[in-house]
Structure formats: structure tokens, C-alpha cells
Amino acid sequence: MTGPARAGAGPGPEPRAPARALLRPGALVSRRWGRALLGALGAGGAVLVLELLARGGAVDDDALPPATSVLARAAGMAVDDGFLGHLGTTVSAWLGGLALAVALAVPAGLLLGSLPWLDRAGLAVVELARPVPSVALIPLAILVFAEPVRVERSLVCYAALWPILLNTLYGLRDVDPVAKETLRAFGFGAPAVLVRVSLPSAGPFVLTGVRIAASVGLIVAVSAELRAGGDSGLGVYLLQTQSGGGRPDLMVAGAVWAGALGTAANAVLVGAGRLAFPHSARAAAGRGG
């Protein structure tokens, strides 16, 4: 009976499970490269469409230069000291405001998420302040902070604060209560439960909030420079390209650099998430995310 039983078990699911386990890493890598290829094809297609619109006369060259001309200008800016100075000012204020938002929002989210009564008390304040546009606070920021860079950094911090704070709260609410109760049953206190269970579980949510905040912060940084002015910055550079008759090729090329900054920041944060939280990254890849 042993022989037939083993023979009958051959076509069963057990032998196929190791095969799926062995193919899974390769499948994930293939899927990742497939997404990258599709993204490259999409970007190339958009460049081709814009090029054809400009070259075919459907759009005035003075309003929208050909895509190849814009990309050539953007590449030349990489060795332009004047432009790099503007870019460095924006990056400094953007990253400074984002770092300050992380330093404020994560501890605040941990505090609110750990104390339900404080969460309920502070929710009204959060919901009242969150919808206020950062650009609407430019006049107040100018009155409070004299230096343009500090104005910009404060507005970036305000805009980036809310995505990080809310995602931290959502992450803490998603923590498995059984894991926390198990740790408490072994005599661990609230700080140990927070460090050993809550933080690792909420980490992917926090990182997602930082990714959203990075994009929002860059938009606010350039918008603040466009509205508040100053001596340097990407927004100031875009304003300068509109003066003296206007240089739409330089203006669009500057916007391309802003998009490249946002794309690079998102790629860095995605890579950091895969290194710090590999299980969450594999789960997202398995869902096709």
C-alpha cells in the first residue's frame, strides 16, 4: 500500500509547490523588468507625440518647443553653474523641509496612535489644518520668516507633515493586536511593544507617507519660489526664463528637471523600502503593485 500511496501522491500539489517557490524570484524579477520596459516605452511614446506635434505645426514652436530641443537644453543645464545654483537652492529647501516634517510627524503619529484619547482629541485639529493649502500661507510665512529659504522650507514642512502623520496613524491602527498582547503577556512594557511590534509593522506605511510627502513638498517648493520670489531657486529660474521675450525651451527644460528630481526621489525611497521591508515589497510585487 505504501507504493501506490506514494505513486498517487505524485500528481498532487506537494511536488508543484517547491517548483513555484523556485520560480517565484525569477518571476518577480521578470515582472519588475517588464514594468520598467513599459515605463520606458510610455515615456518614449510621449516624447515622440510631443515632437510630432511641434514639428508638424499643430502647436506653435514659440509656445511648445520640440521635445528633442527641450531634452537637449535640459542636458546642457547639467553643466551650467548658474542653473545648478538655482537647482541646489530648491533641493536644499525641499529636503530640509521634508526632513523636518519627518522629524515632527513620525513622533506625533506614534504618540497619537498609542494614546486613543489623545488621538480623538487631536483629530479635529488635524482635520482642520490639513486642508489649508500651503501656498495660501505664503504671506504669513513671509511675515514670520524673513529669509526666502526659510519661508520655502517652512511651507514644504507644513505640506509634507500631513501625509506622513496620517500614514503613521494608519500604520499603527493596522498592527496585529495579537502580536502586541503576546508581547505584553511575556512582561514587555509599552515602549518595548512600540519598538518591537508597532514600528516594524507601521514602517511601510510611514515610508509610503514620506514618498507622497516628497512629491508634494517639491511642488510646494517650486510654487513658493514662483509666488514668493527670492534670489535663487528653480521657481526663480523659471520666472527669469519668461522675462526678456521669454525662452519657452529653457522654461520647459527647467520643468523637466523638476520632474526628474521627483522621479529620482521616488526611486530612492522605493529602493529603501525594499531593503528595509523586504516582506512588504514582495507582497506588493506579488499583487502586481
Q: Which pLDDT tens digit goes with each residue over 18-63?
A: 444 434 555 555 676 777 788 778 888 877 887 787 777 776 666 7
Residues 6+ apart with CB under 8 A from 64: 50, 53, 54, 248, 252
Which helix (H) or strand (E) segment holds residue 221: the answer is: helix 199-228
Quote the CA–CA distance of 48 and 26 in Å, as a whole number. 33
Residue 23: the pLDDT is: 42
Residue-level pLDDT at 68: 85
Give the pLDDT of residue 161: 94
- The residue among 140 and 176 whose pLDDT is bigger is 140
Residue 34: its pLDDT value, please? 76
Residue 238 to residues 54, 139, 221, Cα–Cα distance (Å): 21, 21, 13
List the chain domain ranges.
19-64, 80-286
CATH number, domain 80-286: 1.10.3720.10
pTM > 0.75: yes
| 205-to-164, 169, 200, 210, 211 alpha-carbon distances in Å | 8, 9, 10, 9, 10
What is the grid cell recorded at 285?
A: 510585487
State percent of the chain over pLDDT 90.
27
- Tens of pLDDT, residue by residue over 207-235, are 999 999 999 999 999 999 888 777 888 98
- Using 50, 70 and 90 to split pLDDT, how confident is the model at 132? confident
Q: Could you tell me which residue, 204 or 2, shows the higher pLDDT?
A: 204
Phi, psi of 186 (to 5 degrees): -90, 10
When pLDDT is averaged across residues 73-86 and rounded to a whole number, the result is 90
Average pLDDT of the chain, as a whole number: 80
